[in-house]
Structure 1
Amino acid sequence: MQRQFSASLPAAVSVSSIRRPSNTTGIELPDRTSVSTGYTRFNAQLSRRRHNNQAVVVNPLSHLTDEELVADVYRFQAHYLESVNPEDLLRAARVAKDVRTYDEVARSEDPNAGSRLPVILEPKEKEALKAEKDVLFSERGMFIVILTVSLAAFLQGFVQQPRRDQQPKPPAAVWRLGAANASPFLSAAVFGCFASLPINDLVGRRGAMAVAAVLIFGSSLASTWCRTWGSLFGVRAINGIGMGIKAVSTPILASETAVGFWRGSSILAWQLWVSFGIFMGFVFNLIFNAAIGPGEQGPDEGGDRFSHEYKVLGLILGSPCVPALFLLAGL
Structure 2
Amino acid sequence: MSKELEKSSIKQQESISDDYDHKEVKHIDNTEANIKLANPLAGIPREQLLEDATNFAKTHGLGHLEEDFRRGALVAQDPLAFESVLDLDEAEKVVLRRELTHRWDQPLQLYWLVILCSLSAAVQGMDESVINGANLFFPDHLGIPQGDSNNQWLLGLVNGAPYLCCGLIGCWVSTPMNRYFGRRGTIFISAFISFAACIWQGLTNTWWHMFIARFILGFGIGPKSATVPVYAAECSPPAIRGALVMMWQMWTAFGIMLGTIMSLAFYHVPDPAGIVGLNWRLMLGSAGVPALFIMTQVYFCPESPRWLISKGRYDKAYEAIRRLRKSNIQAARDLYYIHVLLEVEREIQTGRNLFLEMFTVPRNRRAAVASGIVMFMQQFCGINVIAYYSSNIFAQANFSNIQALLASWGFGMLNWVFALPAVYTIDTFGRRNLLLVTFPLMSLFLLMTGFAFYIPDDSQARIAVVALGIYLFTMAYSPGEGPVPFTYSAEAFPLYIRDIGMSYATAVLWFFNFVVAITFPRLLNAFTPTGAFGWYAGWNAIGFVLILLFLPETKALSLEELDQVFSVPTRIHAAYQLKALPYNIRKYIFRQKGLKPLPPLYQHEGAIGEKTYAPPGAGH
**TM, length-normalised to structure 2:** 0.38
User: In the TM superposition, what is the alpha-carbon distance from 1:253 to its structure 2 partner?
Assistant: 1.1
User: In the TM superposition, what is the alpha-carbon distance from 1:150 to its structure 2 partner?
Assistant: 0.6
Change (3 A) 1:64 1:160: farther
What is the letter of the counterpart of residue 273 of structure 1? Answer: W
Tell me the equivalent position of 1:131.
98
Change (3 A) 1:49 1:135: closer
Tell me the equivalent position of 1:5.
none
CA distance in 1, matches of 2:51, 2:179: 25
CA distance in 2, matches of 1:317, 1:219: 9
What is the letter of the counterpart of residue 210 of structure 2? Answer: L
CA distance in 1, matches of 2:288, 2:152: 26
Aligned partner (choices 122, 136, 142) of residue 165 of structure 1: 136
CA distance in 1, matches of 2:53, 2:177: 27
User: In the TM superposition, what is the alpha-carbon distance from 1:87 to its structure 2 partner?
Assistant: 4.6
CA distance in 2, matches of 1:46, 1:77: 31
Higher Cα Rg: structure 1 or 2? Answer: 1
Q: Contact 2:71–2:88 (CA<8 Å) still a contact in 1?
A: no
CA distance in 1, matches of 2:33, 2:230: 24
CA distance in 2, matches of 1:74, 1:218: 49
Q: Contact 1:215–1:238 (CA<8 Å) still a contact in 2?
A: yes
User: In the TM superposition, what is the alpha-carbon distance from 1:287 to its structure 2 partner?
Assistant: 3.6
Tell me the equivalent position of 2:241.
263
- Secondary structure of the residue aligned to 1:136 is coil
What is the letter of the counterpart of residue 90 of structure 2? Answer: P
Tell me the equivalent position of 2:89.
122
- Secondary structure of the residue aligned to 1:194 is coil
Runs of 5+ consecutive residues of structure 1 not aligned to the other structure: 1-41, 51-56, 106-113, 297-306
How many residues align? The count is 257
Runs of 5+ consecutive residues of structure 2 not aligned to the other structure: 1-26, 299-620
Change (3 A) 1:172 1:74: farther
User: In the TM superposition, what is the alpha-carbon distance from 1:75 to its structure 2 partner?
Assistant: 7.5
Tell me the equivalent position of 1:91.
71
Q: Contact 2:197–2:213 (CA<8 Å) still a contact in 1?
A: yes
Change (3 A) 1:137 1:236: farther
What is the letter of the counterpart of residue 312 of structure 1? Answer: N
Tell me the equivalent position of 2:229.
251
Percent identical among aligned pairs is 28
Q: Contact 2:162–2:217 (CA<8 Å) still a contact in 1?
A: yes
User: In the TM superposition, what is the alpha-carbon distance from 1:49 to its structure 2 partner?
Assistant: 4.6
Q: Contact 1:224–1:315 (CA<8 Å) still a contact in 2?
A: yes
Tell me the equivalent position of 1:46.
31
After superposition, give the CA deviation of every residue in 1:189-212 in whole Å (9 maximum; x if it has no partner).
Answer: 222211111111112111111111
CA distance in 2, matches of 1:186, 1:64: 48
Tell me the equivalent position of 1:233.
211
Which protein is richer in helix relative to its size?
2
- Secondary structure of the residue aligned to 2:172 is helix
Tell me the equivalent position of 2:292.
325
Q: 1:160-309 to 2 correspondence within 5 Å?
A: 160-161=128-129, 162=131, 163-165=134-136, 169=146, 170-289=148-267, 291=268, 308-309=276-277
CA distance in 2, matches of 1:135, 1:129: 10
User: In the TM superposition, what is the alpha-carbon distance from 1:64 to its structure 2 partner?
Assistant: 4.0
CA distance in 2, matches of 1:90, 1:44: 31
What is the letter of the counterpart of residue 283 of structure 2? Answer: I
CA distance in 2, matches of 1:192, 1:72: 40
User: In the TM superposition, what is the alpha-carbon distance from 1:175 to its structure 2 partner?
Assistant: 1.7
- Whether 1:60 and 2:39 are equivalent positions in the alignment is yes
Q: Contact 2:57–2:66 (CA<8 Å) still a contact in 1?
A: yes
Change (3 A) 1:45 1:60: farther
CA distance in 1, matches of 2:223, 2:164: 13
Q: Contact 2:50–2:70 (CA<8 Å) still a contact in 1?
A: yes
User: In the TM superposition, what is the alpha-carbon distance from 1:165 to its structure 2 partner?
Assistant: 2.9
- Secondary structure of the residue aligned to 2:279 is helix
What is the letter of the counterpart of residue 80 of structure 2? Answer: R
CA distance in 2, matches of 1:78, 1:171: 70
CA distance in 2, matches of 1:319, 1:76: 49
Tell me the equivalent position of 1:147.
115
Change (3 A) 1:220 1:191: same
After superposition, give the CA deviation of every residue in 1:110-160 in whole Å (9 maximum; x if it has no partner).
Answer: xxxx3xx3x521232122212322141424511111111111010011111
CA distance in 1, matches of 2:55, 2:170: 34
What is the letter of the counterpart of residue 263 of structure 1? Answer: R
Change (3 A) 1:177 1:43: closer
CA distance in 1, matches of 2:28, 2:54: 23
Change (3 A) 1:47 1:74: same
What is the letter of the counterpart of residue 63 of structure 1? Answer: A
User: In the TM superposition, what is the alpha-carbon distance from 1:70 to its structure 2 partner?
Assistant: 5.6
After superposition, give the CA deviation of every residue in 1:220-264 in whole Å (9 maximum; x if it has no partner).
Answer: 111111111111111111111111111111001111111111111
Q: Contact 1:149–1:250 (CA<8 Å) still a contact in 2?
A: yes
Q: Contact 1:61–1:96 (CA<8 Å) still a contact in 2?
A: no
**TM, length-normalised to structure 1:** 0.68
CA distance in 2, matches of 1:239, 1:126: 48
CA distance in 1, matches of 2:190, 2:51: 38
User: In the TM superposition, what is the alpha-carbon distance from 1:100 to its structure 2 partner?
Assistant: 0.5
Q: Contact 2:103–2:240 (CA<8 Å) still a contact in 1?
A: no
CA distance in 2, matches of 1:174, 1:74: 66
Change (3 A) 1:150 1:329: same
